[in-house]
Amino acid sequence: MTKNKNLLSWGLVAAVLLFVAVSAFAPRTSTRLGRGATAIAADRDLTPDDIEAALKTYMPSGRHDDYIMFSSGGHAGQVFVIGLPSMRILKTIGVFTPEPWQGWGTGAQDTMDILADGAVDGIEITWGDTHHPALSETGGEYDGQWLFINDKANARVALIDLKDFETKQIVKNPIAINDHGGTKVTPDTEWVIEGGQYATPLGYEYAPISDYADSYRGMVTFWKFDRLAGRIDKSASFAMELPPYWQDLCDAGKKVSEGWVVCGSFNSEMATGGIEDGNPPFEAGASQRDMDYLHIINLDAAIRVARAGQTSDINGFPVISLERSIAENLLYLAPEPKSPHGADITPGGEYIVVSGKLDPHVTIYSWAKIQSSIRAGNHRTDSYGVPILPFDSVVEAQVEVGLGPLHTEFDNQGYAYTSLFLEPAVARWTLGGPYERLHPEKGWQLVQQIPVHYNVGHLVTAEGDTVSPDGKYLVSLNKWALDRFANVGPLLPQNFQLIDIENNGDAMKLLYDMPMGIGEPHYAQIIKADKLNPWEVYPEVGWNPTTGTIDEHAVMLGEERVERHGNTVEIFMTAIRSHFTPERIDIRKGDHVIWHITNVERAYDATHGFALPGYNINVSIEPGEALSFEFDATNDGVFTYYCTEFCSALHLEMMGYLQVRP
């Protein structure tokens, strides 16, 4: 009863709001619309909160989102591009996994080559477990130019160009078989951080696990990004050997802490499992001690050591040894409580927030205190000789936020937001120190929790890990969806929940549930949409997206031809609405075929696809793009190639015959 009354009165409020809004433009129709809205709200059993959420997220046809979120795809191996606040998926970017729509890794030679660069010791890898996207930054702000993302499974890092939203490079970590603590970038994107995870012998060589303490090691890798070349420069990159604790998420210092990097860790117990042999299982063995170690790394000093060549060579890659790091004061540890996760640096760089998965608190470390503790010297060390800064000398505060805290991001009002896996909820709490002037509360304290559905891993706020977060929106990346969506069988989608954190004295409000049925995303980053400035079409006809220049095999109109050199047939083809030229190609079984296609269109959205059934070729040719693929004509027969994008009324006629004579 009460609910219905409430509903009706709110429905009226909504109707009035709509009336006011609409009457400004179309006074004749407004009354009818208003009544309709009330009826719809009643009919669909919508609460006032539902109506408000709908009004805040509804995107009228043709209107664009204010923010763009780049989400990892988990073991989809891809990146997903999502508009906020509508939560509409705008694009899948093929990264570590072939992606046929983009023609990523399904024939086009350059894309095959980039994927092949991610091979591990000669074994081709056709998937990835993308975890942490990192937008490029200038002065600690997202600049909208590049996106990096790691593959946790195989310790690889990919680079995506935000001019065309395509992957340009994959680098395999030369010393680690898996990673986790990446990617993060330094405030001017000079370095891309890839932290390790499960310790192994570096270079992924063999050593028996009974030699764990001596032969197994952790690591952090610093990839040099050459912005001018638009590539990671492997030859200028280096790694640091770390103790065989399982390094976890890293973050780059900013402002007052710029030039330093922190990485959390767990399993400082150095548990090696072996429940078969009567040892504690990993989850118990790695959780015995109350404290693990926050790694505090002087990156600027490490760069000097690496540039001076004071490194060892592992698989052809320079690595600063643990001994050297200790001798050069590159590495310090600080105790962090209870199976820590997340290491998130505040916008001004003054504090590091660490969560303890088994501790209801977040622990806040002060950068100033860390520096004075380092200066004070005279530290005890771990068993490898790495100095340990006393807990009390570096901790600024602890805030009880709730059960199972994981990751923290920030807003523009001096609040921090921490995901609580076990509650499950998102906690809003106040930052003290210089942030106190931004909010009415005093000190470090929990302000509010909002339940989420259900167990949340990462959360992300708009530009929330930069030097100037926007606030406004938070997305809770929930691992479990349970009853939130229609049952689609035993494998459930994840649930992204959009939360309004605009603080006009209001509580946080849940706005939208978005099922993610395409992988298990871990982290995402949200950028203001107007910071992105991608191309509408490639700059010139014949453009090679990988080299960023005119392709040497670009085909201009009138230059189409088929050339034969011995057993090699080279095809020069153009695509334009609504035909491929040539339309007929005759070759012989056993020929090696090199096929070049250029989309000579200059019109926005005039993409053509090209599929060659039977030979596993499928490419996408955007306006202006030139690409090539190769195959051996091992089977004779008649093969019908055709355009896979519905590009015109005569799109079905955009085809041709490849005749392979026996």
Asked if 406 is part of the footprint of ligand K7E (rule: CB under 6 A), the reply reads yes
The entry of ligand K7E, ligand CUA, none that residue 654 binds, CB within 5 to 8 Å by partner kind:
ligand CUA
The entry of ligand CUA, ligand K7E, none that residue 458 binds, CB within 5 to 8 Å by partner kind:
ligand K7E
Question: Which is closer to ligand CUA, CB of 76 or CB of 600?
Answer: 600
CA distance 507 to 501: 8
Strand pairing category for 130-138 and 141-151: antiparallel
Asked if 655 is part of the footprint of ligand CUA (rule: CB under 6 A), the reply reads no
Asked if 357 is part of the footprint of ligand K7E (rule: CB under 6 A), the reply reads no
Residues 248/291, Cβ–Cβ less than 8 Å: no
Q: What residue number has its CB nearest to ligand K7E?
A: 457
For residue 112, give the DSSP letter: H
Question: Which is closer to ligand K7E, CB of 249 or CB of 314?
Answer: 249
Element (H or E) spanning 41, and its range? helix 27-43
Nearest-10 Cα torsion for 327, 330, 334, 337: -120
CA distance 114 to 125: 11
Asked if 341 is part of the footprint of ligand K7E (rule: CB under 6 A), the reply reads yes
The entry of ligand K7E, ligand CUA, none that residue 131 binds, CB within 5 to 8 Å by partner kind:
ligand K7E
Among 457, 648, 629, 644, smallest CA distance to 110 is for: 629
* Site size for ligand K7E (CB under 6 A): 11
Element (H or E) spanning 29, and its range? helix 27-43
The entry of ligand K7E, ligand CUA, none that residue 341 binds, CB within 5 to 8 Å by partner kind:
ligand K7E
Question: Which is closer to ligand CUA, CB of 531 or CB of 651?
Answer: 651
Stretch that binds ligand CUA, among 187-195, 312-320, 364-372, 643-651 (CB under 6 A): 643-651
The entry of ligand CUA, ligand K7E, none that residue 522 binds, CB within 5 to 8 Å by partner kind:
ligand K7E
Element (H or E) spanning 327, and its range? helix 322-327
CA angle 312, 314, 319 (to 5 degrees): 45
Assess whether the previous peptide bond of 424 is cis (omega < 30° from 0).
yes
> How large is the angle between the packed helices 48-57 and 2-23, nearest 10 degrees?
30
CA distance 13 to 42: 13
The entry of ligand K7E, ligand CUA, none that residue 406 binds, CB within 5 to 8 Å by partner kind:
ligand K7E
Q: Render 343-405 in DSSP notation, one character per residue.
A: EEE-TTSSEEEEEETTEEEEEEEEHHHHHHHHHH---EE-TT--EE--HHHHEEEEEE--SSE
Asked if 7 is part of the footprint of ligand CUA (rule: CB under 6 A), the reply reads no
Residues 416/408, Cβ–Cβ less than 8 Å: yes
The entry of ligand CUA, ligand K7E, none that residue 234 binds, CB within 5 to 8 Å by partner kind:
none
b/e map of 129-163 (b: 16 or more CB within 10 Å)?
bbbbbbbbbeebbbbbbbbbbbbbbbbbbbbbbbb
Q: Identify the residue among 180, 324, 338, 428 touching ligand K7E (CB under 6 A).
A: 180
Q: Identify the residue among 643, 656, 658, 660 touching ligand CUA (CB under 6 A).
A: 643
CB of 131 to ligand K7E, least distance (A): 4
The entry of ligand CUA, ligand K7E, none that residue 156 binds, CB within 5 to 8 Å by partner kind:
none
The entry of ligand K7E, ligand CUA, none that residue 338 binds, CB within 5 to 8 Å by partner kind:
none
CB of 572 to ligand CUA, least distance (A): 18
Q: Identify the residue among 260, 405, 608, 626 touching ligand CUA (CB under 6 A).
A: 608
Asked if 645 is part of the footprint of ligand CUA (rule: CB under 6 A), the reply reads yes
The entry of ligand CUA, ligand K7E, none that residue 651 binds, CB within 5 to 8 Å by partner kind:
ligand CUA
Give the sign of the dihedral formed by CA 134, CA 139, CA 140, CA 144: negative
CA distance 489 to 17: 41
The entry of ligand K7E, ligand CUA, none that residue 428 binds, CB within 5 to 8 Å by partner kind:
none
Binding residues among 129-168 for ligand K7E as defined by CB under 6 A: 131-132
SS3 275: helix
Asked if 125 is part of the footprint of ligand CUA (rule: CB under 6 A), the reply reads no
CA distance 158 to 131: 11
Q: Identify the residue among 523, 538, 580, 615 touching ligand K7E (CB under 6 A).
A: 523
Q: Identify the residue among 654, 656, 658, 660 touching ligand CUA (CB under 6 A).
A: 654
Asked if 457 is part of the footprint of ligand K7E (rule: CB under 6 A), the reply reads yes
The separation between the first and the last C-alpha atoms of the chain, rounded to the nearest angstrom, is: 80
CB of 574 to ligand CUA, least distance (A): 11
Asked if 651 is part of the footprint of ligand CUA (rule: CB under 6 A), the reply reads yes
Question: Which is closer to ligand CUA, CB of 46 or CB of 626?
Answer: 626
CA distance 475 to 68: 12
**Spatial strand order in the sheet of 395-400:** 340-345, 351-356, 359-366, 395-400
Stretch that binds ligand CUA, among 102-110, 397-405, 565-573, 642-650 (CB under 6 A): 642-650
Site residues (vs ligand K7E, CB under 6 A): 131-132, 180, 249, 341, 406-407, 457-458, 522-523
Which parts of this chain interact with ligand CUA (CB under 6 A)? 608, 643, 645-647, 651, 654
